[in-house]
Structure 1
Amino acid sequence: MPQRTLLFVVFDGVQSLDVTGPLEVFAGAEAHTPGTYRIRTASLDGAPVRTSSGLTLVPDEALTGALTGAADPHTLLVPGGEGTHAPDPRLVDWLRAHGPRAERLVSVCTGAFLLAAAGLLDGRRATTHWAYCEQLAHDRPAVRVEPEPIYVRDGRIATSAGVTSGIDLALALVEEDLDRDVALCLARHLVVFLRRPGNQAQFSVQLAAQTALREPLRDVQRWITEHPDTDLSVEALAARAALSPRHFARAFRDETGVTPGRYVDRVRLEHARRLLEDTPDGVEEISRASGYGTPEAMRRAFLKAFGTAPAEYRRRFRPAAVD
């Protein structure tokens, strides 16, 4: 197996975990299977950089010399952070020139903005931190921004969402380069899941939806979250809010940004997902507890949301679990 060179780009204002999270994954893979990866870090001029948290990183080399006398890196990884908001034009120019030459191009969090600024995401699917997806779509209309997945693969380019999702993407790449057993070993060592599916939502229902302004509607939101297995029809929820079904549906959508039905669907899916990850309960029991009623109904919901059945989803998190 040929050794793959990984080049991590660093700059002032970089998010430290965007760098160190994936780096620890690849370094762990190299320790597990020596000769797999050659990992390098580089800043524009080779000088130390100060991260957004104040930590100083000392790179191995300068970007201008990183490729001198050597083959292009197999994987070029671009992290995010405050330094992506007004990037050094020289960094964008370097990425524009060298990004297309890497066999695999990866961004973490707002590193997608640097790739987009260099024109490397035009016509491609991509994601970034949920708080910046709308801005990326606005600033770079040629990019097909997907706000929900924790990472997106589009050919040779992979983009991940906020911060820790870079670890998920790195584990997926290690699994691709080596095998699942190595990636699982690394995930256990780092005490993280192997592995969240790339199309898993970036954030919980309660973070994704706005909190209603009026107390009766906020009470309904809490009731839905705490009782996913009850009758959550518009009529039943409207009765709890002491509103007519029509008025309730309109007010709920206006104040939360989603319809009651969509909110209920997301809560039930998240509840079922967490039970699969965190408990030994069987699929049939979880389907009832989450309000689906039958395993088949829950299976359809998981296939639509994650592209995988509940039993397979669980195996990715709890390899020893048996349904």
Structure 2
Amino acid sequence: MAPPLSPAKFADVLRAEGLVVVEVGDWEHHNRNAKGPWGPMHGVMIHHTVTSGSARTVEICRDGYSGLPGPLCHGVITKDGRVHLVGYGRANHAGLGDGDVLRAVINETTLPTDNEAGTDGNRHFYGFECENLGDGEDPWPTAQLLAIEKVAAAICRAHGWTERSVIGHLEWHPGKSDPRGFTMASMRGRIAKRLGAKPQTPTLPEPTKPVVYLSQLAAAARSNPKVKGTPITYVGVRFVETALVNAGLLAKVRLDGHFGEDTVAAYAAWQRRLGYRGDAADGIPGMASLTQLGDKYGFTVVA
């Protein structure tokens, strides 16, 4: 029996393995626990996303889509090797799979061929989605493959598992093909070697500030003002709204996670403060103005 690691421990063991970890909003409390149990944990499952673009990939994996609510995994491994934590608890990533495969993972024996789908995998596996189109042609950069290796080894190390506790989605559910572009046998070989070695230090600078994705923020800003219906929300809006409150441009009572008319007006005032005029001060965040806001009030901007 392996109870789930705490969110703090989960992030710590990844960093201890030398990974660059990006914490996305309230990931520690974002889960599907209301839909069923989570744990005991038996393994790590690797997926590919069939998406391109890191910001879009992280957003989809955090929020999900029509018919499949997020989170769709616990961590997103982007092509640059960063691990974006988007949820913690039960997540919609594994679905139903083969009970014989689960028993082999628990016993750390040779995997049987998956030929049925009747066992709940969301309950028992940590899930990592990896940014890749999954067409067999989209490349897997060295940094990304190394991050997959490190992620799996870190969790195995924390639970006392071997590399046999790491599987691909294609080994769990008949008909699935992910991850496509490398073999899980080769990845388990890498993980086994790493488990016999000491953790390495990070090769990339580790961000210490919250991350705001410009593309998501601009989309939220464009869609909310004067538009009827449910406004688009994005966790990064709160960081920006808080910065605008601290800058004295937005009333604290308007800090609601929606980039509504008041937030657009406040952001336009920030743009004017920076010297923008006319259409350049339209309240829609741009890279230069948002970066200056982040530098001053403590968040990192990613395109």
TM-score, scaled to structure 2: 0.28
The structure richer in helix per residue is: 1
TM-score, scaled to structure 1: 0.27
Higher relative CO (CA 8 A, sep ≥ 6), structure 1 or 2? 2
Q: Which has the larger radius of gyration?
A: 1
